[in-house]
Chains A and B, each alone.
Chain A
Amino acid sequence: MKREMPLSSQQLAFLAFLLIPGSSLVFVTGQTAGQNAWLAEMLAILPGIYILWAILKLHDRFPGLRITQISCELLGRFLGTVLNILFFWSIFIITVELVYDIGLLLKVIYPAIPRLILFPIIILPCMYALYKGLTVLGRLGELFFFIAVSFIILAIITAIPIMDISKLRPVVSEWKLLVGGFLYAADWPFDEVIIFALFLPLVSNLKQEKRKVYLWYLLSGGAMTILDLQTISILGPYLTQLSQFPIFEVFRLVGFGEFRRLELGFLILWFLTGVTAITIFLQGILFICQDVFYKKDFKPLILPLGLAIVVFASYMFPADIVYNLLGFKYTPIYTFPVNLLYPTILLITAKLRKPQSQNQAAESSDQSSSP
C-alpha cells in the first residue's frame, strides 16, 4: 500500500520560493558589493542550487531518511551526531536571527510595543501551524505563495518609474567587493535551502518533479535579484549600505500621485514570508532534536523550542549593535561552511562507501558461489 505523504512536491517548491524572500526580508544581502550587490546576489543563487542538488542526490540514495539520519547511517552514531549538533546550532542561530529581524522590522511600525511582546507574537502562529501538522505547513505555503507572488510583481512594477540605472555603474569595477558580496549573499539567504534536506522524506512524487523545486527556487532568487537591483538603482550603493532596511526605504518613496505609504501594505509580504520561513526553520530544528535525542514524536518539543527562540533572541542579542555585529559579521563565518559542507561531506562519504559496499556484495556473492 502506498504511504500518504504530508507534503506534495508542488508544496515543497512553493515553500522553497517563500523561504528566500522570507529569510532576506527587507535587506540587500550582498550589499558589501556596493553597486554590484545585485550581481553578487545573482551569482549567490548557484551555491543554493548546488545544495539543492546535493540533498536531492542524497535523498535518491537514501530514500525515506532525513539528512540527520543519513549522517548517522554514513558516519556512525558518534560522528554523525557531532555533525548533526553543528547543523542544529547553525539552523538555531539562523532562526533566532530571523525572529530578531522581523522584530526589528515590526518595531518600525509599532515603536511602542516592546520586543519581548513582539517575539512571542511572531513565534506563536508558527508553533500553532506546527501543532496542526506538516499538511498545514504545505497548505500555508500554497496560500501564501500567491499572495507573495502578487506583492513581488506589484513591488517590481511600482518601483520601475523611480529607478536610475546610472547608479548601477560601473559594473564589476572591483572584483574583491563582488566576491565579498557573493560570499555573504550565498550564506544568507541562499544556502539556507539546506533545511529542506529534513523535509524530503515527507514529500510525494519528488523523483518525477525535482525540476519544480529548482524552478521555483530560481524564480525566487531572480525576484530577489531584481528587487535588489531596483533598490540600488533608487537609493544608490551608499544609501543602501547606510540604511537599516533598504527595500523598506524604497517602498516609502514609491506611490501613485497622492497614494503614498505603500510600505505598510508591503509589510504583509514580509510578515507572511517571514512567518513561513520561521515555521520551516522551527520544524527543521524539531526534526534535528527528534533525531539527536531518538524521540518518537517531535510535538512535545514544540513549546520548549518555541520558548527557547523567544528567550535566546533577547539573551543573545541584548541590543541592536550586538545583533549587527554578530548577525551580519560573525554568524556567516560559521553558518556558511556548515550549511555548505554538511551535505558535501555526506555526499562524498556516500560516494566512497558505494564501491566498498559493491565490493563487499561481490565478495559475498563469490563466497556463496564457491563450493
Chain B
Amino acid sequence: MPSLMLYSITGFLILFIVLEITPLVRKKEWKQLIVPVIFFGLTTLYGIDYVFALNILPNPNKTLYLFKPLSENLEKILQISI
C-alpha cells in the first residue's frame, strides 16, 4: 500500500510547519530555513515518486550496485556465499 506514504509525508509536514517553520519565520531566520526546506522538499518528491511508481528520480541504491563486481570477486576469492 504505497499510498500510506502520503499519510507519513503529510504527518511529517504538519509537524515540520508547526515545530520548525513557524518559529523560524517569526524570528525571520530565513537562512536557517533553506537547508531543512530543501531536504524536506527533496524527500517529499521521492515519496511522491514512490507512491505513484513514476521512477523519474534516480534511485540512490544505484550507488550500491556499483559495488557488485567487487563483491562478487571477494566472494569468489574467499569462496563464500552470502
Contacts and interface: CB of A to CB of B under 8 A. Distances in A.
Main secondary structure of the interface of B (DSSP, over half): helix
Interface residues on B, range: 35 or more
Nearest to A309: B43
A312 interface: yes
Contacts of B61: 316-317, 322, 326
A199 B24 CA distance: 26
B4 A114 contact: yes
A57 B22 CA distance: 42
Interface residues on A, range: 35 or more
Contact of A116 (B8, B67, B75): B8
B8 A310 contact: yes
Contact of A114 (B1, B16, B37): B1
A333 B75 CA distance: 11
Interface string B60-73: 11011101101100
Interface of A: 32, 89, 93, 114, 116-117, 119-120, 131, 174, 176-177, 179-181, 183-184, 289, 293, 295-297, 299-301, 303-308, 310-312, 314-317, 322, 326, 328-334
Interface of B: 1-2, 4-5, 8-9, 11-12, 15-16, 19-20, 24, 32-33, 35-37, 39-40, 42-44, 46-47, 49-50, 59-61, 63-65, 67-68, 70-71, 74-75, 77-82
7 contacts: A93-B64, A120-B8, A303-B36, A305-B39, A314-B2, A315-B50, A329-B75
Given A315-B50, A334-B63, 17 more contacts: A116-B5, A177-B79, A180-B75, A180-B78, A293-B35, A303-B15, A307-B47, A308-B42, A311-B9, A311-B47, A312-B60, A315-B49, A326-B61, A326-B65, A330-B71, A333-B67, A334-B64
